[in-house]
Structure 1
Amino acid sequence: MKRLLSILLVVCLVVVSGACGNIFIRGALRPGFSTISGSVSIVQLSTVISGGGTKVQVTFVTFLLNGTSSTIGFCGDQRGLFPIDQNVRTDFTLGQPCDSIIVVVIIV
């Protein structure tokens, strides 16, 4: 039951974050990936259980933009890509139980 709750929490965070304005989900112009921008405030490595019951490492990153926070779970140990208090733009593809990074750009 905890496994299902963990997966549902990650899915809910992604869906709810899309409504906050910090995530832009592209469809017509460049289908297949989403973009999030903001200041990196929290980076945490965790393990979640996939739908097939296997353990997957996920790096949860919390972005701050205009007073709103959004947390995204990226597949694998991606902690080195997200320096704390740096503004970044990240392109990624949505996935289950985590999202796959295409590119991370540090904005200076």
Structure 2
Amino acid sequence: MTVGQLIRKGLFGVLNSGNEDSVINNVFSCDLLSLAMTKDLDGCAWFTVIGNVNTIAVAAHTGASCVVLCEKVKPDADALLKAQEHNIALFVSDKPVFDSAAELYAITDV
């Protein structure tokens, strides 16, 4: 599935569409940015509750296909601006991390 296909599914709220051709082939969940920074997130949909600019920096550094902010978390203004600048797809979900990731997993073959 691509980011564009995920957008069209309407599963999550879209704050920034990012690179709609980016492929999502895995799911990753982590709120410890120093741990996430050590991972290869290329092709991952990253589920977290950390909505600050550092999350976007780690997503850009690790190659995450998109970031999904869960539990009704909204990004701060700097995070949204950096997501736009770095072409990072940014979504929001009202649901917990596990439930949000499970919903994506259910409609894909990741």
Normalised by the size of structure 2, how large is the TM-score? 0.25
| Structure with the bigger percentage of strand | 1
Higher relative contact order structure (alpha carbons within 8 Å, sequence separation ≥ 6): 2
Normalised by the size of structure 1, how large is the TM-score? 0.26
User: Which is greater in Rg?
Assistant: 1
